[in-house]
Chains A and B, each alone.
Chain A
Amino acid sequence: MNESGSAPEILNLVTYLERVLKDTPWAKFLLLWENVIFSLIIAVIMILLGFLALRKRKLIPGRAQNAAESFVGGLDDFITGIMGPRGRRYTPFIGTLFIYILFMNISGIIPFMKSSTSSWSTTLALALCVFVYVQYTAFSELGFLGYMDRLMEKPRGFLAFSVIYPLLMLSLHIISELVKPISLSLRLRSNIWGDDMLLAVLSGFGLKGVPLLLFSSVLILIAAVIQTVVFCLLTTIYFAFILIEHEEEAT
């Protein structure tokens, strides 16, 4: 904590501009949209990288296209490996999430940048997108009754007539579905926030803290990748549960 009692924070582009513009409406605006600004910077970088990678699209790829294809191919194999061939439909969504979260996580160790994922609003927004898409997939794949049946743990025979059990299961599953975006977003936000705090504290040590800062940066980089993988893996599993359930019903 600093003198004002708030959490320590490293100087970044927005806070620097806010200090320069002191008490002007622009300063307030920048401070209010700080995380969104950094997210938009990342989004623009991603779009530019995507454009550069596929600018000269060829069947025999160049270096940039090759890197992009390797990444996309690997991610697609990973997703279809879990979900089956139908998982290909979700590769763009999960892939975008992966790169977006990874870049936002890593941006915390780049000078004058900030991890937008250290804000719960950012991670919850992403988790809500996942939640809505998963629920949409569940309703479209299983149908309303099929999905309700699944949420009630498919009561058959005696269990179907005992109203309490299906209702209890339904309420439990609804709660678990609602908790998913909260747990998903809080896990990511808390880990990245912790990393940012560590960097902020270590940067306060001055030159003495540089070796530790460098060492922590490596650890933070690893943690950033792990948290991205965890978020995307869980998202993939949420989709896989629905698709596998649907395939089992079909067979």
Chain B
Amino acid sequence: MELLSMLSANELVAQTVSFLILFFILRAFFWKPILKLLDERKEKIASELKSIEEEKATAQEIMADYEAKLKTIDDAAKAEIQEAVLEGQKIIEQAKSDARSESEKIIIEARAQANRELAMTRQELKDEVVDLVLDATEHLLEEKMSDREDRRIVKSFLDNLDKT
């Protein structure tokens, strides 16, 4: 009973009513708007995060695509380089073989030329020797033979000399 004496019915009712009024006012003008605002922000952040994730996925796809394309380009470039190298080597080989055959041709020509010149020189030398021998023989024999006969004799002599 002593405990109950601390209570005041009027105060109890007034406090209940004042709390309920406060609750309904705050619920309508404070709690609901602010909770709605928090939900909206949460949803906005969630949707933005989702769109960021989607953009990230798209970017990754594009990156993978670019990487694949780069790889293809790289492979193609490598193949082209390889092809060019092979082509170059072929050209070099061709040039080498051309140069070789050309040089061989030149050498052969040079040899033929040299042989021709050698033969000519020999001929000239022969002619000169024949002349010298004829002169010498003329002096020795002091007898002049016909030029044509002299040449025949000396030539036959020299031919015999070559054979021996």
Cross-interface CB contact of B15 among A39, A68, A73, cutoff 8 Å: A39
Complex interface: chain B residues within 8 A of A51 (CB): 29-30
Docked complex Cα distance between A68 and B23 (Å)? 16
Whether, in the assembled complex, B81 has its beta carbon less than 8 Å from a beta carbon of chain A, the answer is no
Contact B20 A129 (CB under 8 A): yes
Contact A95 B31 (CB under 8 A): yes
Encoded as 1 (CB less than 8 Å from any A CB) or 0, chain B from 27 to 60 comes to: 1011111110110110010000000000000000
Q: Is the contact region of chain B dominated by helix, strand, or loop, or is it mixed?
A: helix
Contact A35 B15 (CB under 8 A): yes
Contact A91 B44 (CB under 8 A): no
Complex interface: chain A residues within 8 A of B38 (CB): 69, 72-73, 76
Whether, in the assembled complex, B10 has its beta carbon less than 8 Å from a beta carbon of chain A, the answer is yes
For residue A103, give the distance in angstroms from its CB to the closest CB of chain B.
Answer: 11
Complex interface: chain B residues within 8 A of A36 (CB): 11, 14-15, 18
Interface locus among A114-122, A144-152, A154-162, A205-213: A114-122
Additional A-B contacts beyond A119-B11, A125-B12 (20; CB < 8 A) = A40-B18, A50-B30, A51-B29, A51-B30, A54-B29, A69-B38, A72-B31, A72-B38, A92-B23, A92-B32, A96-B19, A96-B23, A96-B26, A119-B8, A121-B15, A125-B11, A125-B16, A126-B15, A128-B12, A128-B16
Q: What residues of chain B have their CB less than 8 Å away from a CB belonging to chain A? A: 3, 6-8, 10-16, 18-23, 25-27, 29-35, 37-38, 40-41, 44
